[in-house]
Chains A and B, each alone.
Chain A
């Protein structure tokens, strides 16, 4: 039972971590919270589900196109809702992001209706015994895929020129510009990467819960932001750690404390973290 809850928690936690990476990268480079991250997650899920529902598209292609759709939305969003407001009081892009989030949510509601859509899965998953304990292969696949994406992101940021340029912009935008980095392009790239990861997270959650609906991004988005703060905002390993910890805490809390308050656990942790250690577990770059 306990072990099962930990596995459940790690599965949702790895998805929170993927979204948290988007938050943390965007916060690192622009110092703003992209409140519409949850809607980007929703967009990824919808693109994949709609493509698969046609019955003509292979699962992996639909997954990739879902990520691409989310990435495109992220880049467009940055152009429309954030770039014109750069340099203004931090409240302004924050409110703009909230506006964008509501807009996208209600747009999805108009286009797709309020009902849950099932995920047309092309594989079947079973439960296998690992060291004598039952584990669902779906959970294993999600965990593996999420960790794989995180690994790729870390490698990209550490070892490629573009990755290093993003870090440079996050450290000091003006100096990066003086060194010949095209800051606007790096901001777009950050949104692209963060949104693609959120899109992947959305598709995985759509498979896991077998439900895709317009408001699906709201709570995972907020919880992922809590995860980013928990780990130290602007810190990539921190976001991963924060997401996994939050997922496990939520799962155990729902099992042993109260399932009615499951969604409150993430925020209770968030408020505690801000009280006790506002810089997060691993010190964030944001402060």
Chain B
């Protein structure tokens, strides 16, 4: 039982990083990514491959995962972020499908069978094989990411992002380089998702494409919306609730997706700001012309 709680806590930590990174895109910059699991997967595969083939130690593998996620985010963000939200949504979704197919079809990723035997972290003479030691590692990363995100959103840059979310043209008129900010936050979020992927893969020590499909992208999105778009504490709460809830509802496993779907629609109609969202993100400020 304790081992099980530990397992859930580690997963919740990884989901917190994922949810927070997606929230930076959705809740702060007002853009949408429906392929966030792709960056998670890219980080996971890169981290696994460099550990298996080049026996990178964990810190180097995690750094490689962050860089890979960030670079892919940059490559996708540069051409698409000058487009409207809807286009970004569909492009990121398509990107998710493509990346999933790449994982499934490449030889180096082991195809549908995936890659077994990924080593757990072992650096500075400490082995992270024990789950509770791993939880500390994940916890440290979660705190670092939370701290950095909190600093970011309260800074000049965070205000610039919110200005873009609330009214892009006004933000532009105020001298904010909106495309640069959007690309920057998208890249940063993709890099964080890469980090989460690395943390996941060295914990589970096995990887296959199933973990990184559309289902996961939607799950992360549900976590963001449930907790509250544009709320850091909300991301933590959303990630924790949706990690634990499915476990509590084990018998009702078949109803899980049904609940997520209804949750998304219901929340947006009844409480669009989520559990902990700040103010009314979606109803008052963002009146759409026409």
Contact = CB atoms under 8 A, between A and B. Distances in A.
Q: Do they bind each other?
A: yes
Interface of A: 27, 31-33, 80-81, 84-85, 87-96, 98-107, 109-110, 172-174, 218-219, 222, 225-226, 229, 258, 260-261, 263-264, 266-268, 270-271, 274-275, 278, 287
Contacts of B97: 219, 222, 263-264, 267
A85 B105 contact: no
Nearest to A27: B86
Interface stretch (B61-69, B121-129, B253-261): B253-261
A31 B290 contact: yes
Contact of B91 (A103, A109, A270): A270
Contacts of A102: 218, 257-258, 260-261, 264
A268 B97 CA distance: 10
Interface stretch (B6-14, B140-148, B279-287): B279-287
18 contacts: A80-B265, A88-B282, A88-B288, A90-B85, A98-B264, A100-B264, A100-B265, A102-B257, A103-B258, A103-B261, A106-B254, A106-B255, A106-B261, A110-B254, A222-B93, A225-B90, A226-B94, A267-B94
Contacts of B225: 95
A199 B87 CA distance: 24
Given A103-B258, A106-B261, A229-B90, 4 more contacts: A89-B281, A104-B261, A270-B90, A278-B83
B262 A94 contact: no
A100 B286 contact: no
B95 interface: yes
Contact of B101 (A31, A107, A261): A261
Interface of B: 26, 30, 32, 34, 79-80, 83-87, 89-91, 93-95, 97-98, 101-102, 104-105, 214, 218, 221-222, 225, 229, 254-258, 260-265, 268-269, 272, 281-283, 286-288, 290
A103 B255 CA distance: 10
A271 B268 CA distance: 29
Most chain A CB inside 10 Å of its own CB: which residue of B32, B86, B104, B254: B86
B105 A260 contact: yes
A192 to B, nearest CB: 20
A242 B130 CA distance: 54
A94 B89 contact: yes
A107 B86 contact: no
Most central of A173, A225, A258 by chain B CB within 10 Å = A225
A204 B84 CA distance: 33
A108 B218 CA distance: 18
Contact of A87 (B89, B268, B288): B288
A33 B265 contact: no
Contact of A268 (B93, B98, B229): B98
A91 B272 CA distance: 11
A89 B282 CA distance: 5
Nearest to A218: B214
Given A99-B264, A102-B260, A84 B269 contact: yes
Residue from B85, B89, B265 whose CB has the most chain A CB atoms within 10 Å: B265
A27 B98 CA distance: 25
Nearest to B272: A92
A118 B68 CA distance: 44
B263 A174 contact: no
Given A91-B282, A98-B34, A278 B257 contact: no
Nearest to B224: A95
A85 B85 contact: no
A205 to B, nearest CB: 18
A117 to B, nearest CB: 19
B13 to A, nearest CB: 25
Given A89-B282, A89-B286, A101 B261 contact: yes
A265 to B, nearest CB: 9
Contacts of A260: 101, 104-105
The 4 closest A-B pairs by CB, nearest first: A99-B264, A103-B261, A267-B94, A102-B261
Contacts of A270: 90-91, 94
A8 to B, nearest CB: 20
Contacts of B260: 99, 102-103
Contacts of B101: 260-261, 263-264
A95 B91 contact: no
Contacts of A84: 269
Nearest to B27: A91
Contacts of A91: 26, 30, 32, 85, 229, 282
A226 B257 CA distance: 25
B258 A110 contact: yes
A54 to B, nearest CB: 26
